[in-house]
Structure 1
Amino acid sequence: MKTAVPPATTLSAAQTVETARLAYLPVALFGSVMGLTGLTVAWRGAHALFGAPLWLSSVPGLLALLAFVVMAGAYLIKAVTGFEHVRAEFQHPIAGNLFGTPLISLMLIAILLVDLDRDLARVVWSVGAAGMMVFAWAMVSRWISVRQKPAHATPAWIVPVVGLIDLPLALPALGWADELHGLMVFALAVGLFFAIPLFTMIMSRLLFEEPLPDALQPSLLILVAPFSVGFSAYIATTGTVDGFATALYMLALFVLAVLLGRLRNLAACCPFRVSWWAVSFPLAASTNAALKYAAFVHHPVANAIALILLALSTVVIVALALRTVWGIARGELRALSS
């Protein structure tokens, strides 16, 4: 067995080139695109269920597309001017898992593009889906080929799995649910299967190892994603809310309640970093699951939970966006990326 690779921050002086630009930019910032897209879909669901103004979904949708273009351009500059930083980030036992975020973003923004140009949306989704399957294969191969340390088992390890579970979400809107039903089942099965041991290993690390560093605390909310995204992907694949789907949703609510209790004092104990965007997509995914469940059961309690989560995810994501833009305007992006 080979030993785990060193952290991405251990680049030697010889590897660091003066021409590198935006070397500090983390690939995890694509999580902002995921969160904004999830919020867009949530407000569309609120429009269908509660009659909320449809324009409320347009604002985060436009921001999601803009954020993706800006992030893709910025990370391309980083890759062209200092590829060794990209390679080191990919080889990092924790940060490397977050290379799934741009691929997930592609699959999600296809939902936003389908009303503008369905053919373009299908191309964008296809690139993201193909990349995600290759990436998931590469990461699972790494896990079983390279000796890992217990401290490396962090919520970021969920991302390659969640990426596969995200694969079915856009297919009904793209008109491919029937043609690619087998692929939907494949992605859902692999994603949910690997979510079980990964969740167990991460819980074990949280219980028996040192607490996560402050910068990684927001990533705890990623642990909700296998259940909330799994619920939405399951009903997209099967077309029904059965007992298994309901169990996934109830698990999502329980895990979310536990983790929100852990993170309620985050702003007081930890300075803001772009890593805080890790909370955005799990919150939005939980909101979407709650809206879908409420639409199925038509119960006041389910409606109330959906509305509470919609308000919470909206406030949190708007606050993250405003704080990020303010930090960039003040020239703090390097510090916020540390």
Structure 2
Amino acid sequence: MNTTVASAPVALPVDSARLAWLPVALFGSVMGLTGLAVAWRVAHTLFGTPLWLAGGIGVLALLAFVLLAGAYAVKAVTGFAHVRAEFAHPIASNLFGTPLISLLLIPLLLVDLDQTLARVIWSIGAVGMTVFAWLMVSRWISVRQKPAHATPAWIVPVVGMIDIPLALPALGWADSLHGLMVFATAVGLFFAIPLFTLILSRLMFEEPLPDALQPTLLILVAPFSVGFSAYTATAGGVDGFATALFMLALFVLAVLVGRLRNLLQCCPFKVSWWAVSFPLAASASAGLKYAVFAHDAVASGIAVALLALATTVIAGLTVRTVWGVARGELRALSS
């Protein structure tokens, strides 16, 4: 199944902390890579594409997670005040869901290698995501919010809940934890409605998003594309409601995909561009799953187009990010 998901600048205390500039939103790259690996696995089933493509992308996703987890742990140990300030921010705080979503997606890559390890990682992610979503919703209704803070990043806790059911069929827990699947899907889809409305209202009536936050607009696709996959995993197949979710994902994506074209014009490359990766990968995965159900040329064509788009964009983001790391630019690209 953000992407790195961009966040607004966070005022951090000045001290000797190492990697104090590292944003938690960088875990969005793990989400995008993992989602793309899952999409290519479905493409192998549908079109017979080489399985090593999915495996290679999955290895890259796991490597990115290990490196980022280690780096952010260094930040937390050497300067926890920076982490606390990031979590207190009304926009950036929502992006603490990105490492938890990563923990929910990674088991899809590991289950064939070690089911026990995959189940442990998923369990940590599921508990953490549920607590985090509860905490964020409690904050929203307990602390007065400003309209300008209603950005697409607010969707991340909701998407995290919808991600909970995705790995359960592969983990062999779909029957025993079916109630949890219903709970997570229901909570995620329910809260997606008012949040989507609030964010759309902010986009319509407030000042435009800052350039650094423009890529996060594609996060608005995720509740529908991920919702489709979560609902079909919970319901056991594609029905009318699942089809409606997929059609909504296509429409919202069509409205927002022009943002990809404007990225080069709006701002120089930043790791915040990774915000587009997970929504595109989730849309590709949903398109492929729908094509398996529909069995027609149109659905297959849409699935191929979505997979090609997601792969091209994520490949470009990966190459540019690795090049930036090699040149020692990661700190500048994260600011």
TM-score by length of 2: 0.97
Partner of 2:3: none
State the secondary structure of the residue aligned to 1:317. Answer: helix
The alignment status of 1:309 with 2:306, answered yes or no, reads yes
In the TM superposition, 1:94-243 aligns within 5 A as 94-243=91-240
The 5-angstrom pairing of residues 39-78 of structure 1 reads 39-78=36-75
Shift of 1:8: 6.2
- Percent of pairs with identical residues: 79
* 8 A Cα contact 1:8 1:85, kept in partner: no
Deviation at 1:153, TM superposition (A): 0.1
Aligned to 2:275: 278
Per-residue CA distance 1:39-72 (angstroms, 9 max, x = gap): 0001001100011011110111000000000000
Q: In 1, Cα distance between the equivalents of 2:11 and 2:175?
A: 48
1:82 aligns with 2:101: no
Q: Which runs of 5+ in 2 are unaligned?
A: 1-7
**How far apart, CA to CA, are the structure 2 residues paired with 1:29 and 1:251?**
27
In 1: Cα distance, 2:36 partner to 2:276 partner: 12
Q: What residue is the counterpart of 2:5 in the other structure?
A: none
Q: Which residue of 1 is the match for residue 326 of structure 2?
A: 329
The whole-number CA distance in structure 2 between the counterparts of 1:281 and 1:223 is 11
**Partner Cα distance (1:173, 1:301) in 2:** 28
| Secondary structure, aligned partner of 1:39 | helix
Secondary structure in 2 aligned to 1:264? Answer: helix
Of structures 1 and 2, the one scoring higher in RCO (CA 8 A, sep 6+) is 2
Q: Report the counterpart of residue 4 of structure 1 in structure 2.
A: none
* Cα distance in 2, alignment partners of residues 155 and 170 from structure 1: 25
Q: Residue 10 of structure 2 aligns with which residue?
A: 9
Whole-angstrom CA distance in 2 between matches of 1:123 and 1:294: 32
CA RMSD of aligned residues (A): 0.9
Mapped partners of 2:292, 2:198: distance in 1: 34
Residues 15 and 79 of structure 2 are in contact (CA less than 8 Å); yes or no, is this contact kept in structure 1?
Answer: yes
**Structure 1: 5+ residue stretches without partners:** 1-6
1:130 aligned counterpart, secondary structure: helix
Q: Is the 8 A contact 2:154 2:195 kept in 1?
A: yes
Helix, strand or coil at the partner of 1:176: coil
The amino acid across from 2:40 in the alignment is: W
- Given that 2:155 and 2:192 are in contact with CA atoms closer than 8 Å, whether structure 1 keeps it comes out as yes
> What is the CA-CA distance between 1:10 and the residue it aligns to?
2.6
TM-score between both structures, scaled by the size of structure 1: 0.96
Contact map agreement 1:224 1:255 (CA 8 A) in 2: yes
Question: Are 1:8 and 1:91, in contact at CA under 8 Å, matched by a contact in 2?
Answer: no
Distance in 1 (alpha carbons) for counterparts of 2:35 and 2:176: 25
Q: What one-letter code is carried by the residue in structure 2 that aligns with 1:120?
A: L
Q: Is the 8 A contact 2:159 2:222 kept in 1?
A: yes
Q: Secondary structure at the match of 2:117?
A: helix
Q: In structure 2, the residue corresponding to 1:9 is in which secondary structure?
A: coil
Tell me the secondary structure at the aligned position of residue 140 of structure 1: helix
Distance change (3 Å), C-alpha of 1:8 and 1:278: closer
In structure 1, distance between residues paired with 2:94 and 2:258: 26
1:264 is displaced (CA, Å) by 1.6
* Equivalent-residue separation in structure 2 for 1:221 and 1:171 (angstroms): 26
Q: Aligned residues, how many?
A: 328
Would the aligned equivalents of 1:79 and 1:86 in 2 still touch at CA under 8 Å?
A: yes
Distance across 1 between alignment mates of 2:179 and 2:158: 18
Alignment of 1:256-267 (within 5 A): 256-267=253-264
Hey, what's the Cα distance between the residues in 2 that align with 1:265 and 1:162? 25
Provide the C-alpha distance between the structure 1 equivalents of 2:216 and 2:10, rounded to a whole number of angstroms.
19
Q: Deviations over 1:210-245 (max 9, x none)?
A: 000011000000000000000000000001211100
* 8 A contact 2:215–2:259 mirrored in 1: no
Give the equivalent residue in structure 1 for 2:4. none
Amino acid at match of 1:330: R
Distance in 2 separating the partners of 1:269 and 1:151: 20
1:320 paired to 2:321: no
Moved over 4 A (4+): none
1:36, 1:63 within 8 Å by CA — same for their partners in 2? Answer: yes
Any idea what SS the aligned residue of 2:60 has? helix
Mapped to 2, the partners of 1:109 and 1:154 lie a distance apart of 27
| Rounded Cα–Cα distance in structure 1 between residues aligned with 2:110 and 2:10 | 37
